[in-house]
């Protein structure tokens, strides 16, 4: 049950998918993946460009119904298997979608082909992240800083080496994070997640993107938060 709760929580987060296209679906989704942009559009019921806590809860109710495929009001064993497979598939879909978006942006004249001029002038998020002073060139210092940042992120025990211990620490961190998620979602501690429990949680949209904690999420807040969460620019996803 623990793994399922974690996967379920991740499934409805910013980078997760709800590609559920079967006829039994009570609520067909807006697209093959539910990224922060899609989740925002789903939750913005009155289309005013802002999502309040009531709208976020209503959207989480819709997401719960998609996961609760037998309609019994709980996320149980068969849905566990589905959620795990869906979560893995969503990551692949998200990566593929980002590649497709980059290609569409590069094809500036929309002729279905990408010329060298289009390719070389297209935005490069990775380059821009490394080019911290935005001078259009990556210096030796910027390259070293980017490599050091990457190394530091991998060296989770901060001993100056990358080894098996780092992998073990990451697993433990992942496990602890999932334990905290389970505690937060399973309010009555019965080992199941009911719709009421699921909806009563603040959810990833409010948790990650309500930066000023005023109970409302705007498009601007999503755009501002995405780099901090390691997400690509807000757009088609």
**DSSP state, residue 233:** P
> Rounded distance, CA 40 to CA 218, Å?
9
Q: pLDDT tens track of the chain, all 237 residues?
A: 544 444 444 444 433 333 333 333 333 333 334 567 777 888 888 889 899 989 988 888 888 888 888 888 988 767 767 776 777 787 777 777 777 777 777 888 888 888 888 888 877 778 888 899 989 899 999 999 999 999 999 999 999 999 999 999 988 887 787 677 767 778 888 878 899 988 888 777 888 788 888 889 998 887 777 665 555 444 443
Confidence (pLDDT) at 8: 44
SS3 content of the chain, % helix, strand, coil (to 5): 55, 5, 40
> Rounded distance, CA 69 to CA 209, Å?
28
Query: At a CB cut-off of 8 Å and minimum separation 6, what does 194 contact?
Result: 73, 74, 188
Domain boundaries, the chain: 2-123+192-225
**Gyration radius of the chain over CA positions:** 20
Confidence (pLDDT) at 11: 45
Contact (Cβ atoms closer than 8 angstroms) between residue 68 and residue 79: yes
Confidence (pLDDT) at 80: 65
Q: What is the pTM of this model?
A: 0.53
- Three-class secondary structure of residue 112 per DSSP: coil
């Amino acid at each position: 049950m623990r793994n399922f709760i974690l996967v379920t929580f991740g499934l409805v987060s910013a980078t997760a998918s709800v590609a559920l296209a079967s006829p039994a679906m009570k609520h067909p989704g807006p697209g093959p993946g539910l990224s922060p942009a899609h989740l925002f559009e789903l939750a913005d019921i009155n289309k005013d460009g802002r999502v309040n806590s009531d709208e976020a809860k209503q959207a989480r109710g819709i997401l719960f119904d998609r996961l609760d495929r037998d309609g019994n009001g709980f996320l149980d064993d068969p849905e566990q298997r589905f959620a795990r497979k869906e979560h893995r598939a969503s990551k692949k879909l998200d990566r593929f979608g980002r590649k497709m978006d980059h290609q569409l942006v590069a094809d500036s004249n929309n002729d279905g082909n990408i010329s060298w001029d289009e390719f070389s002038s297209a935005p490069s998020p990775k380059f821009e992240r490394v080019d911290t002073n935005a001078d259009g060139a990556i210096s030796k210092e910027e390259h070293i800083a980017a490599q050091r940042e990457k190394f530091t992120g991998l060296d989770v025990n901060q001993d100056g080496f990358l080894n098996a211990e780092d992998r073990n620490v990451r697993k433990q961190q992942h496990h602890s994070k999932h334990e905290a998620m389970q505690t937060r979602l399973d309010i009555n501690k019965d080992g199941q997640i009911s719709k009421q429990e699921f909806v009563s949680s603040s959810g990833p949209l409010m948790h990650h993107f309500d930066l000023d904690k005023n109970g409302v999420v705007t498009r601007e807040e999503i755009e501002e938060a995405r780099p901090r969460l390691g997400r690509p620019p807000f757009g088609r996803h």
